[in-house]
Amino acid sequence: MKKNSLLTLGLYFSFWNLFFFWSLLFLPIALFGQTKAECETILFIDEDGTSYKKYVDIRTDNASSNPIIFNSIKKGKDPKQTYLYINPKDYQFKVIPNKSYNLMVFEGNSYSFMEKGNMMDDGEIKLQKGTFTFSNFSKEESSGYFGYYWQSGIFKKFSFTWIFPPNFRVLEKNCNQKGEWVLQNNTLTFYGEDINNIVFDIQYSKSINTNIPSFKGRDVDIIDTLSLKSEDISIEVWDNNQEDGDIISLSLNGEYLCKNLEVKKEKVQFKIPNLQGKNLLILHAENLGSIPPNTAALRIVSGNETKEVVLNSDQGKSEAIQILIDP
């Protein structure tokens, strides 16, 4: 019994010595096989609130395999036809059937690119009552990966910056990963470390300024107020009298709908989606024409509602109408 016990004990320690040896042998693979990357993304959002120019720079550690870009280029087009900038220029482009992405494979440990696109290319965007809501992909794109992710590893450092036009404001910001948010003026940045599978939910809107006592150095008189129910309106402008060479500019909430438009009998239409709250439409005279003052007829169509008004402006003052949307 004693000899058998010693034999059993010896086999037991031999097994664990062997297990420990092989654990040490594969320990470097477990510890160091996971690649890490540093990623910096800057999104320049255009005035429409949905299109953008995006700059991405990714640097990887020395243990990483060839870097890969997961892109959403449709129909397998070569990225050179879509991207504004790619570095390095040499890469392999692979179309992945039945997936929402393709692959660009680089040699080396870093790459960067710049592209034009729409927020829908990166995820989902909703526009409701003047508020934009953007969420990037939260569904699994590749095995175990979703959102903004680094394949076979993690982001050692990760930053994502949204640069909005000056007349936009950020309403809400959320991320499924821990990190630091920094908001300065029209620039929003998220900083994170040792994270992956990053999903953002951002809400933003245009700032509306109707407190305009003057426009382009001229006083503004509000001559009428229109209350409308539909958020999608159209504005038609024309000369309802004799054409006399009147040239006008139309401004909505301080932003031009048109500049230096010659008013004629033929109507010119402007479509304005998702108008909210209180708005100010100003007629600015660029000249006096042959028969002063500068005059234009406007028709505002909102769903089944139609309103018409005539605005007069000269080189001393501008006339305006206030549009109230009450859906």
Length of the chain in terms of residues written: 327
Residue 53 pLDDT > 70: yes
Q: Are residues 189 and 88 in the same domain?
A: yes
What does the pLDDT read at residue 38?
92
Mean pLDDT of 16-30: 38
User: How many C-beta atoms lie closer than 10 Å to residue 310's C-beta?
Assistant: 14
Averaged pLDDT for residues 91-117: 79
Quote the CA–CA distance of 193 and 184 in Å, as a whole number. 21
pLDDT band at 35; cut points 50, 70, 90: confident
As a whole number of angstroms, the distance between CA 80 and CA 115 comes to: 10
Contact 162, 203 (CB under 8 A): no
Tell me: pLDDT of 275 over 60: yes
Query: Domain of 155: which CATH number?
Result: 2.60.40.1730
Q: Are residues 194 and 169 in the same domain?
A: yes
- Percent of the chain residues topping a pLDDT of 70: 79
Report how far residue 18's alpha carbon sits from residue 4's, in angstroms, rounded to the nearest whole number. 21
Mean of pLDDT values over 252-273 = 88
Residue 170 lies in a domain: yes
Per-residue pLDDT of 180-239, as tens digits, reads 999 998 899 999 999 999 999 999 987 665 566 667 778 888 888 888 887 788 999 998
**78-82, 104-108, 300-304: which is most confident:** 300-304
**pLDDT exceeds 90 at position 89:** no
22 within a domain of the structure (yes/no): no
pLDDT in tens, 156-189: 999 999 999 887 889 899 999 999 999 998 899 9
The band of 2, judged by pLDDT with boundaries at 50, 70 and 90, is very low
- Looking at residue 107, its pLDDT comes to 77
Decide if 26 is inside a domain.
no
E strand or H helix at 114, and its extent? Answer: strand 110-118
For residue 19, give the 3-state DSSP assignment.
helix
Instruction: Name the domain count of the chain.
Output: 2
Of the segments 15-19, 89-93, 193-197, 219-223, which one has the largest average pLDDT value?
193-197
Query: How many other C-beta atoms lie within 10 A of the C-beta of residue 52?
Result: 20
Summary mean pLDDT of the chain: 79
Quote the CA–CA distance of 159 and 227 in Å, as a whole number.
44
Domain of 237, in residue numbers: 214-325
Q: Average pLDDT of 319-323?
A: 88
On whether both 197 and 226 belong to a single domain, the answer is no
Instruction: Give CA 3 to chain center in angstroms.
Output: 76
Q: Residue 281 belongs to a domain with what CATH number?
A: 2.60.60
Tell me how far apart the alpha carbons of residues 56 and 52 are, in angstroms, rounded to a whole number: 13
Give the range among 12-26, 30-44, 200-214 with minimum mean pLDDT.
Answer: 12-26
| pTM, to two decimals | 0.59
Higher-pLDDT residue of 278, 292:
278
102-105 β-sheet, strand order: 68-71, 102-105, 92-94
Query: Within this chain, do residues 65 and 165 fall inside the same structural domain, yes or no?
Result: yes
Residues 56 and 124 in one domain: yes
Final residue before a domain boundary, out of 142, 177, 206: 206
Of 153, 174, 206, at which residue does a domain stop?
A: 206
At residue 73, the pLDDT reads: 58
